[in-house]
Amino acid sequence: MTFKTLDDLGDIRGKRVLVREDLNVPMDGAKVTDDTRLRAAAPTLSELSDKGAIVLVLAHFGRPKAPTPELSLAQIVRPLADVLGREVRYIDWEGDKEAVATLQPGDIAVLENTRFFGGEEKNDPAVVQRFAALGDIYVNDAFSAAHRAHASTEGLAHVLPAYAGRSMQAELEALEKALGKPEHPVAAVVGGAKVSTKLDVLKHLVAKVDHLIIGGGMANTFLAARGVDVGKSLCEHDLTGTALEILDAADKANCIVHLPYDVVVAKEFRANPPTRTVNVHEVAADEMILDVGPAAVEALGDALKTCRTLVWNGPLGAFEIPPFDAATVALARTAAALTTAGQLVSVAGGGDTVAALNHAGVADQFSFVSTAGGAFLEWMEGKELPGVKALG
């Protein structure tokens, strides 16, 4: 798709720019425990400020039923200012027009939680106009909220000149390289606990990629569909028929599906229990599969070496509990090494995925790591994202 970026803005000195950011950061009391989203917002906010715009930040925080101090964006102002290294003001919705009128070129202000308006999530035209009255230009820099057609994520793009911020631009360009117009062969790693949560992803990917690597509890459902006794492993036995349909679709699309042939099993789900590494056909009735085995991981690494593009969503095993992080860490490090060597374009996304890549120490070596959850997943499902479509 084509969309305008900050490069297309022209002279914006003194113009009021409404910037939709994702400031929905985790907090412990008054302390931000992960400022990734604040750092992602920094390039756009700093650039607009440096060009003399009056920067007005729109964002949501939590899921308020009504305005409440606990979910006020006032508490994000200081952490954001610390990241930006410049002053940031806070503007409540009460008297916002008067407060905005006092701002000078280069000033940055965070407006109150957009979800304090009941019509925000309904994309209410009255709320859209309420927001639009404060600005001259709209910039969407929040890909992670782009799957929602809300007033601040989609509605504003239809009533003000609309542009993609730097974070949004980077995300869309990376996704285009990954699945839009990728260099083949393309591999996709899809992990996670349940097939049911990623059915649409799998159905979409088999027609798009050359190698589909299935891990996590999802792989157990596919193994069971092929007649493997997975013991007491997490498995959606009622979806084995669907798994077979996906395997059949992959076969027709010449997509190679990779399932583990050796696995790490244990009788209890806890840190460092007694384990065995066995062929998938040797899982005992009282054992559960908790990770992909080393032989299969080595084979998966060899498959990645033949590929030019990789999309990754979800871990291969129960990576949060040792030693069941081994497969995810090993394959992530292989992908990172191939990326660093210039042999692979690697794009990853989703909360568990980001945590797994950070755990493996390789997140900064991937071509692009998306912090978006639902939006990244919907993009992998091939769905049109309202907030992105509105920029086109």
pLDDT tens per residue across span 90-99: 999 999 999 9
pLDDT of residue 372: 84
In the chain, pLDDT over 70 holds for what percent of residues? Answer: 100
Whether residue 374 is predicted with pLDDT greater than 90 in this model: the reply is: no
Whether residue 373 is predicted with pLDDT greater than 90 in this model: the reply is: no
pLDDT of residue 190: 96
Question: Residue 106 class from Cβ within 10 Å (0-12 exposed, 13-18 middle, 19+ buried)?
Answer: middle
Instruction: Give yes or no for a contact between 187 and 304, defined as CB atoms under 8 angstroms apart.
Output: yes
CA pair distance 287, 385, nearest whole angstrom: 41
Question: Residue 343 class from Cβ within 10 Å (0-12 exposed, 13-18 middle, 19+ buried)?
Answer: middle
Pairing of strands 27-28, 31-32: antiparallel
Q: Which of 46, 52, 76 is nearest to 165 (CA)?
A: 46
Q: What is the mean pLDDT of the chain?
A: 95
3-class SS of residue 388: helix
Where along the chain do its domains lie? 6-168, 182-381
pLDDT of residue 351: 73
Q: Which residue has the higher pLDDT, 280 or 193?
A: 280
pLDDT of residue 1: 66
CA pair distance 302, 298, nearest whole angstrom: 6
Give mean pLDDT, residues 62-72.
Answer: 94
CA distances from 223 to 26, 101, 191, 205, 228 (A): 37, 63, 14, 19, 5
The pTM (predicted TM-score) of the whole model is: 0.89
Strand partners, 263: 278, 292
Residue 63 assigned ligand-binding role: yes
**What digits encode the pLDDT tens for the residues 39-64?**
999 999 999 999 999 999 999 999 99
Residue 148 assigned ligand-binding role: yes
Q: Which residue has the higher pLDDT, 8 or 30?
A: 8
Check residue 196 and report its DSSP letter: G
Q: Is 182-381 in the same CATH topology as 6-168?
A: yes
- 324: tokens are 């069941």
**What digits encode the pLDDT tens for the residues 153-180?**
999 999 999 999 999 999 999 999 998 8
Give mean pLDDT, residues 280-309.
Answer: 98
- 113: tokens are 């939680």
- 338: tokens are 């191939």
Cα 253-256-276 angle, rounded to 5 deg: 150
Residue 350 assigned ligand-binding role: yes
Superfamily of domain 182-381: Phosphoglycerate kinase, N-terminal domain (3.40.50.1260)
Residue 22 assigned ligand-binding role: yes
**What digits encode the pLDDT tens for the residues 299-311?**
999 999 999 999 9
Question: Residue 231 class from Cβ within 10 Å (0-12 exposed, 13-18 middle, 19+ buried)?
Answer: middle
Q: How confident is the model at residue 391 (pLDDT cuts 50, 70, 90)?
A: very high
**What digits encode the pLDDT tens for the residues 135-150?**
999 999 999 999 999 9
Superfamily of domain 6-168: Phosphoglycerate kinase, N-terminal domain (3.40.50.1260)
CA distances from 121 to 147, 151, 359 (A): 12, 7, 35
Q: Which of 390, 379, 382 is nearest to 144 (CA)?
A: 379
Give mean pLDDT, residues 243-248.
Answer: 97
**Residues recognised as catalytic:** 37, 194, 351, 374
What is the four-CA torsion angle of 361, 365, 371, 372, rounded to 10 degrees? -130
Residue 352 assigned ligand-binding role: yes
CA pair distance 202, 181, nearest whole angstrom: 19
Residue 166 assigned ligand-binding role: no
CA distances from 116 to 41, 113, 298, 378 (A): 22, 6, 51, 26
Cα 191-335-360 angle, rounded to 5 deg: 70
Whether residue 246 is predicted with pLDDT greater than 90 in this model: the reply is: yes
Contacts of 7 (CB under 8 A, 6+ apart): none
